[in-house]
Amino acid sequence: MSVPGSERAEIEARLASTREAIVTLFQPQIDARAARALGGQGAFPRSRTMRLLLSHKGLAAVVTAACGLLIARPALALRLLRMLPLATLAKLLLRRQLSI
């Protein structure tokens, strides 16, 4: 079944607008303050959870919880510690400290 040229152009225009809408839907909204801090680039980390965990209060809460787990159940804490990608976390924390 052949589609006439004008209909084909309409279909392609609708597809292009749909693709554009999908791309804008999946792009994260960048906080204006964070964008200014990074010189207009996209803020990292983008998720609110990671921003919370990497903030001073969030990091203190994670360390406190980890210490409590280590005191209460040391075997479980050490088993969980082995599951963490420590090299990646160390790089992330070092980059964060050096960028401030």
Report pLDDT for 32.
61
pTM: 0.38
Domain ranges of the chain: 5-99
**Are 59 and 97 spatial neighbours (Cβ–Cβ below 8 Å)?**
no
User: pLDDT tens for residues 15-70?
Assistant: 999 888 888 777 656 556 655 555 545 556 667 777 777 777 877 888 888 899 88
**Are 54 and 48 spatial neighbours (Cβ–Cβ below 8 Å)?**
no
Q: Where are the alpha helices (DSSP H) in 28-84?
A: 32-37, 48-54, 56-72, 74-83
Q: Distance between CA atoms of 28 and 63, rounded to whole angstroms? A: 28
8 compared with 89, residue with greater pLDDT: 8
Confidence class of residue 13 from pLDDT cuts 50, 70 and 90?
very high
Cα–Cα distances in angstroms (integers) from residue 17 to residues 6, 20, 29, 95, in the given order: 17, 5, 20, 38
Report pLDDT for 14.
92
